[in-house]
Every structure is written in C-alpha cells, then in structure tokens.
Amino acid sequence: MYRSVRPALTALLFFLALHAAPASAQPIDVPDEPAEWGEVSMNELEMDHYPADSNATAVVLSDYGETSFRPNGRLSFERHRRIKILSEEAYDDWGTVEITYYDEDDTEHVDNIEAHTVVLNSNGEQETYELDEDEIFEEDIDGTHQRITFTLPNLQPGAVIEYAYRIRSYQPHFLRSWTFQTTEPTLYSEYKTRIPEVFQYAILSQGSQPYDVQERDETNFSPRLRGTDYRWVMKEVPALRAEPYMTTLENHRAKIRFQLQSVNPPKRRSTSVMGSWEELTEDLLDHDKLGDQVGDHRAVRNEARDVIDGIEAPDEQLRALYDHVVRAMSWDNNSTIYAQSDLDDVLERGSGSSAEINLLLASMLQEADVAMAAPVLISTRSHGKTMPMYPFLSQFNDLLVAVSLGEETLLLDATDPHRPMGMLPLRALNDNGYLLHEDNAQWIQIPRTTTRQHTFFAQGTLHLDGTIDATVRATYDGSSITTHRSEYAEADDDISFVKDTVFDRYDRAEITESSIEIPERRSEAVVVDAGVTLPAYARTAADFIYLNPTLLGRWGENPFQIEERTYPVDFGYPMQVQQVLSLQLPEEYAIAEKPENAQVQFMDNGGGYTRLIQAQGSRLTVRQVFMLRQPVIGPANYEALRDFFTHIVEMESQPLVLRKVANAESGTDSSTPNSSSEETSESAPESGARR
C-alpha cells in the first residue's frame, strides 16, 4: 500500500509546488481611482516583483494630475505620484525628482512640495521618512527655465515613494501635457481638467495605448460661464524602453498635449492664438534671425563671388560654394532655427550653429546669383515628429537649405566637412520639413535615397592551427562615407582605424599592412586595403576544423529581441552589405559539411539575404549579400523583420566543417564531426558586427 501511494503523493506535491503563487507577496490589484496620500498598503510594500514585466526596476503605482482654471485664466496644476522601488537600478531615474518650469516674467511658480519614503522595518511595520525642506534644490537652466530637484530619503529596494507638488501659471498657454507611459510599467495614471469655454485648445493624443476611461462632459464653470470637464485614465500601461533603431521615445509614448488655439471672451471678438501657416511663414521670413538673414551681407557677398570667380557652370558654382562653407565653418553642435549673430560676423568667426551655417550657405547662393535658396525648418529625430496640421513653431529645432537648380531641388546641410553635398545627416531624417518661401511655402518630404553600403573582398589562407592570413579590401560608400571620413580624421593612426573599422569584432586581429584612400571629392567611397592575421579564427578539434565562412560584415546577433513592437523600426538609410571571400584551405583537409546555399526574402522586395558557397579543389569561395531597401519598417511588419534577422543570424553562425583526409598523416580518418555553431572559435565572436 505504501509503495502504491508514494508516487502519486510525490506527483501531487510537485504539481502543487509548480503551480503555487509566490509566497512573498499578494498580487497588486489594479485600482479604479488614484491613490490617497500616505495610505500605502501592505501589498504595495511587500511587492517584490512585477509579474507582467520581469525587467522592471520600479512600478508607477499611481500617477494623478489635475489642472484647474481660475476665472481670470490662471492655472493650477497639481500632481501626486506613488512609485514602488524594486531594485537599486531605479534610484537615479525614480528616486530623484526633477520639476522644470518656465520662470521668465514670473510666469510659473512651484509650491506645496511634499515627499516621503515608506518602508517595512525588521518587525514588518511601516516606517515613513519625510523629505526635509533643506533637501530641495533649485537651479537656473537657461535664464527662462528653472529646475527644482530633490532625492527621496532612505531609498531601498522594496520602498514605496510618494511625492506631490503644485505649479501655478499666469498664462493659459501653459496647460500642462500629461505622459501616461514611461520607461517602467504604470499601474494607474489619470489626468483631468476643467476648461472654461473662453479658451479653445487643440487636444493632441499620441501613442498606441488605449484609454480605459475617456470622458468629456459639459458643465457650468461659474454661474455665467460654461466649460468642459475632461478625464483620461490608463491602467496597466506597459513600459516603453529604448530599442535598437528608433528615433526618440517621445514619438511613441502614450501622451496627451494641449495647444491654445483661441481666446473667446463673452460678448467680445475672439482672438486667434495659434494663427495659420501663412501667418507663421510671413513672420519667419521677416524675422531678423531667420528669413531676413538671407541676403544683403557685404562680406558674405564678396566672399561668395570670389569663390565662384572663373567657374561658369551653375552646378559647379553650387558645389564650390558648398565646399567652401563646409571647409571654412565649424559647427558648434547646436541645432537651432535662428541665427543669433549677423552672418557677416558668423563668417568672420568661422563657427556657428546649424541655422547660422546653413543660412550662410543660403545667403552666399543668393548673393552670388547661383541658385534660389530657402530655409527648411525640420525637427530632428531626437526632437520628435512634426505635426503638419498645427502651426506650432516649437515643433522645429533645426534648419536645412533647399536649393533650386534648374528642374532639380536639393536639400543641403553644411555642418559636417566630411559629408558629400546633397547627403543629409542622420539627425535630419525625420519624414518632412517646412519650406519657407514667400510664394510657395509648403511641407516637403525629406528623402532617404542614399544607401549605406559596405563591400568586403577578402583573399586568404587557412592554416592548420586555425589561423587565417588574408588581404582585405573594404569599400564604404553612400551614407557610410561621412562616418568613415570622420572616424579616420579622429583616429590615432592608420592601424587603429583599420582595426576599429574593418576588424572591430576581432580583438586578436594583427594588422600586417594597411593603405587607406580618402578621396578629395566627398562623394567618392572610402577604400581600405589591409593585410591581417586572425589567430585561431577557426577551431581545431581532433581531425576536424570548424570554420565560419562569414569573415566580415556579420550581424552576430539579432538586434530585435522583443516579441512585439508598437512603433516603427527606423534604420535611417537603406543598407547593403556584401562579402566575397576566397580562401585557400589546407591540402590535408576536405570539406565534410558545408552550409547550404540560401536566399531569404523580406516582404515584397523590401530586402533580402543571399549566400553562395562554392568549393573547387582546396579553394573555397563565399559570396554573401544583405540588402534592406526600406529604411522604415512599420509595427505591422515587425514580426516579419525579426524573423528575417533570425534567419540571417542563424545562417551566419553555421560553420563549414573540414575533415582530415584519409592517410594524410596518420593514415586514419575521423568519424563524426561536431558541427555545432557554438564550437567555432573567433568565428563566433561575442559582440554584434558593426554595419
């Protein structure tokens, strides 16, 4: 009897243990309303992980914001936030709080700051540590903005922190935006406001997260004034973290913003605040730091005419002026839409912001009668996407130049001495820009026609110990030209440039010779010729050699690991990577296993990967081509993209197996090769390839 019961009992106990809930804490219920100040539950304190996100270092338990209007138009924004700290990694981002506000002309004031930390002591009792007023610090940011900073006391894993504050504003323009989604999961987030009918706002929602509550109710703001109550709630909002090949998190967060459109006083004519694109265009073209800067500069005019003296063709004049500006000017790394200095002074100084340098180029083209040139306002990738339906000047933070030459229109940026004319920097590749022109102001598409091209030709010999000696020609073309010209200019010497550029994945690479060609014309490819020794590139074991035939241009790992992505993958440029390897194999060995030739397609002509491996005698030839024609892949095609890269990485990790031929030395032939990709040596390096 005992023998028959014991297996069943053991199985039952195992089942119960496997399916039992963690004993450390009860699950946190999703609330239906914001938290009450100071009322921290034991469940919140005992919580030690967030089941829906194993990577979470903190959880926003409750985030509540409310903006109220006074009859005179003044605003009061109040916020109360409660956060669970799960690990020390959360201290910097969540344990320290920053409040930024607009201080010019006393427009905004911050007060009613409260904060405390709640922990469980060794007896399992709650202890609360209050923030002292002398631990609140304030600093000036730029003359118009102030920053208040404080760090919660007694931070520790398991703590629950809480803080609240109020921002009073004297301008209805400053109706605060609200962000529902952060880099950590949020259990409950609510924002509400009551807007009097005097003020008309454009309400802009973004992100893919749906509202759990979205209410809009007409109400009486006062006995003689109507208004509207708004309430938005999101629950169990997933974290939004940085992933490879994205622009900025701000483009994709679940967020709501407000822009004042008009003021409509009772029994008085309404006043438009937002204006129109036509009005904004007129203002900017007349602005002394923007449109008015193009033209009427004596020093600029004289220098431009000197540069093109003797050059007849308009396209060559354009190239000469572009080359002159990129050589003469140094960018100060500030992206702006306004020139803070007169362009004659900018020219004499030899440095400036993006607006100053590009307006200088536009002015030179105009002054020398070479071409029509006009400013183009853009938002950089890190600044966020533009909103063509709303004439908000704040959505722009950089400036390019549109040049009309015959039937062709070029977009130019002259901030980098290594960039070919007509090629735009990665920061500018953000969909569209606004062309400022007196007669034809319009939104224009920013082209992404330049391909990032890497081509590798390698010829070498595989030795018996797994070492490869090879000569390599690496050609970097298209958008890679700028990157590699810039890296070469900053490199300590040719050898370090070759190692960091061509052989960056091989720590033990020994460069035996090198020759680097940096053409005078920026539009021509950078060419690197090098001799290299790669010790123990292939792994040897008994009578076998395991060789990875993808010598260069390898991805190494799939950059797309998450299961689902709700925002686009943005590579910036189309890409093409090509490798041709010709390798002399040891005569004592023959190919025992060879990866199959392969061809993988991505979407309909969106990209592809081709591999062809051929052997003739002891000569091995490998041809591989990776192509991605679409630089932006939408969320609907993310799974296909991830699978595409999974196939590529798997194929790139497949080894070619060589086996010692019978009677080569010992007169014997080994039996079975172990062709696991994990068994290769430097052919399976740790880091991903730089493309």
pLDDT at 73: 72
CATH code of residue 345: 3.10.620.30
**Among residues 329, 341, 488, which one has the least CA distance to residue 416?**
329
Same domain, 221 and 298: no
Residue 405 above 80 pLDDT? yes
Same domain, 295 and 244: no
How many residues belong to the chain?
691
**Structural element, H or E, at residue 298:** helix 298-308
**Of 230, 263, 296, at which residue does a domain stop?**
263
Dist CA 682 CA 691 (whole Å): 18
Same domain, 482 and 437: no
Same domain, 605 and 669: yes
What's the structural domain count of the chain?
3
Contacts of 561 by beta carbon, 8 Å cutoff, 6+ apart: none
347 burial (CB, 10 Å; 0-12 / 13-18 / 19+) is buried
pLDDT at 500: 94
Q: Are 302 and 238 in contact (CB under 8 A)?
A: no
Same domain, 471 and 441: no
At 437 the three-state DSSP class reads: coil
pLDDT at 15: 36
Q: What is the CA radius of gyration of the chain?
A: 32
Give pLDDT tens digits for 306-352: 999 999 999 999 999 999 999 999 999 999 999 999 999 999 999 99
pLDDT at 673: 59
Q: Could you give the C-alpha distances from 497 to 455, 477, 518, in angstroms and in order? A: 17, 17, 13
484 within some domain: yes
Q: Are 97 and 60 in contact (CB under 8 A)?
A: no
At 234 the three-state DSSP class reads: strand
Same domain, 138 and 177: yes
Q: Which residues pair with 323 in a beta bridge?
A: none
126 within some domain: yes
Dist CA 552 CA 559 (whole Å): 18
Residue 2 above 50 pLDDT? no
329 burial (CB, 10 Å; 0-12 / 13-18 / 19+) is buried
pLDDT at 233: 98
pLDDT at 492: 93
Average confidence score pLDDT of the chain:
90
pLDDT at 26: 62
Give pLDDT tens digits for 18-71: 343 344 456 678 999 999 999 999 999 999 999 999 999 999 999 999 999 986
Give pLDDT tens digits for 635-690: 999 999 999 999 999 999 999 999 999 754 443 444 455 544 444 444 433 333 33
**Of 422, 445, 468, at which residue does a domain stop?**
445
28 within some domain: no
Same domain, 504 and 641: yes
pLDDT at 106: 80
Q: Annotate 161-171 with b (16+ C-beta within 10 A) or e (fewer).
A: bbbbbebbbbe
4 within some domain: no
Dist CA 575 CA 554 (whole Å): 13
Same domain, 220 and 253: yes
Three-state secondary structure of 443-454: EEECCCCCCEEE
Same domain, 436 and 458: no
Pairing of strands 575-584, 452-462: parallel
Window from 20-34, 128-142, 254-268 with minimum mean pLDDT: 20-34
Q: Are 227 and 195 in contact (CB under 8 A)?
A: yes
504 within some domain: yes
**Among residues 162, 188, 157, which one has the least CA distance to residue 85?**
157
Q: Are 531 and 513 in contact (CB under 8 A)?
A: yes
Same domain, 496 and 521: yes
34 within some domain: no
DSSP 645-668: HHHHHHHHTPPEEEEEPTTSSSS-
Query: If you ran DSSP here, which 8-state letter would residue 455 be given?
Result: E
Residue 3 above 50 pLDDT? no
pTM of the predicted model, to two decimals? 0.84
13 within some domain: no
Residue 94 above 90 pLDDT? yes
**Of 445, 462, 478, at which residue does a domain stop?**
445
**What's the whole-number mean pLDDT along residues 180-202?**
95
Full domain range(s) for residue 558: 452-679
Give pLDDT tens digits for 262-303: 998 887 888 888 889 999 999 999 999 998 888 788 999 999
**What's the whole-number mean pLDDT along residues 567-574?**
95
Pairing of strands 468-478, 589-593: unpaired
Q: Are 534 and 566 in contact (CB under 8 A)?
A: no
CATH code of residue 516: 2.60.120.1130
Same domain, 432 and 486: no
Same domain, 409 and 334: yes
548 within some domain: yes
pLDDT at 8: 38
CATH code of residue 141: 2.60.40.3140
Helix, strand, coil content of the chain in percent (nearest 5): 20, 35, 40
At 12 the three-state DSSP class reads: helix
Q: Which residues pair with 516 in a beta bridge?
A: 528
For residue 213, the tally of other CB atoms under 10 A from its CB is: 12
Query: Side chain identity at 118, as an amino acid letter?
Result: V
Residue at token pair 């404080």: 150
Dist CA 130 CA 586 (whole Å): 74
Window from 87-91, 365-369, 459-463 with minimum mean pLDDT: 365-369
pLDDT at 663: 58
pLDDT at 267: 78
